[in-house]
Amino acid sequence: MAMTRRQLLAALGAAAIIPAGVWRLLPSARAAGEFPLELSEAEWRKRLTPREYEVLREEDTEAPGSSELLHEKRAGVYTCAGCDQPVFRSETKFDSGTGWPSFYAPIDGAIGTREDRRLLVMVRTEVHCSRCGGHLGHVFEDGPEPTGLRYCLNGVALDFVPAGEAPA
Ligand SMILES: [Zn+2]
């Protein structure tokens, strides 16, 4: 069976292709003053779990199929695990088959994007929280209607808040 474009993109997105340590040699593209919430590296390390830090602050990618949020079907809001800003709604979540939580649209103004050239074979569009700059995942142009976009996210970078409950 030939690989579909989506499976190929999913495979390329997997951290397994490039050792995580190689990515971390590259300097961060973040500039001081770029985001409303900016903390020192030490403060982020205190606030986040080690895994959250690697994904949100160092742009690591979680293993596909590893997030409990893949199976989350309840109505509610997904917030940035770094700063609790609501970033995606359950209504825009879909099963992409990639092994990463996937959405076709963000909450207005909740995310920013930038070009990511770390995978030398392709240019990807990186997705981060607009409040703290935390890395959430990437967006690809092979998603479902109505946007045609696929926000491919790390579950570890998100927290789920069921409808009717206040964010933690
Ligand atoms: Zn954030």
The domain segmentation of the chain, as residue ranges, is 5-18+37-162
Q: How far apart are CA 104 and CA 111, in angstroms?
A: 13
Active site residue 152: yes
| pTM above threshold 0.85 | no
Grouped pLDDT means (10 residues each) for the chain, 168 residues? 61 50 49 90 97 97 97 97 98 98 98 92 94 98 98 98 80
- Look at residue 119 in the predicted model and tell me its pLDDT: 85
- Look at residue 32 in the predicted model and tell me its pLDDT: 76
- What top-level class would CATH report for the domain 5-18+37-162? mainly beta
- Look at residue 29 in the predicted model and tell me its pLDDT: 54
Q: How far apart are CA 69 and CA 75, in angstroms?
A: 12
Distance 133 CA to ligand 1 centre (A): 6
Read out DSSP for 72-126? --SSEEEEETTT--EEEEGGGEE--SSSS-EES-PPTTSEEEEEE--STT--EEE
- Look at residue 12 in the predicted model and tell me its pLDDT: 57
- Look at residue 31 in the predicted model and tell me its pLDDT: 72
Distance 111 CA to ligand 1 centre (A): 9
